[in-house]
Structure 1
Amino acid sequence: MAKPNYNFEKRQRELAKKRKQDAKDAKKREAREAAAQTATEPQPAAPEPADDSTTNAPAAPRVHLRSSE
């Protein structure tokens, strides 16, 4: 009786797994590219704010309060 070739079977399983992963990666890549296409489409420009002297004023410092636990 012939001896089973486990190395061949293992290699076939690995190749099938790699093909499946490659297909999954290609699908993700296409989705990312499609999202990038929609993100790069020109959008209507927002109106510029009026030129006020308050826009150039320095921002107030942020104060972080610690919570008592």
Structure 2
Amino acid sequence: MATPNYGYEKRQRELEKKRKKEDKARAKADRKAGLLPDGEGQGPEEADGAAHGGDGADAGSAGEGGDGGGDGGD
């Protein structure tokens, strides 16, 4: 039986935390800039966007995947 790769698992958790933190900061900056009214950033509109087609989900996945790979080299 193969042994678990704890270092890999830890890195994946760290990257997920980093993505969530960046998303929160981006949403906060958008609200501050007046692009989205308060409370709409986490509302049902995002859920609808993900459910209506792969456009939003695909674009987000590609961006996050690219960001995570670039950060690994630092």
Shorter-chain-normalised TM-score: which range?
0.3 to 0.5
Q: Taking structure 2 as the reference length, what is the TM-score of the superposition?
A: 0.45
TM-score by length of 1: 0.48
Structure of higher RCO (CA pairs closer than 8 Å, 6+ residues apart): 2
Structure of higher CA gyration radius:
1
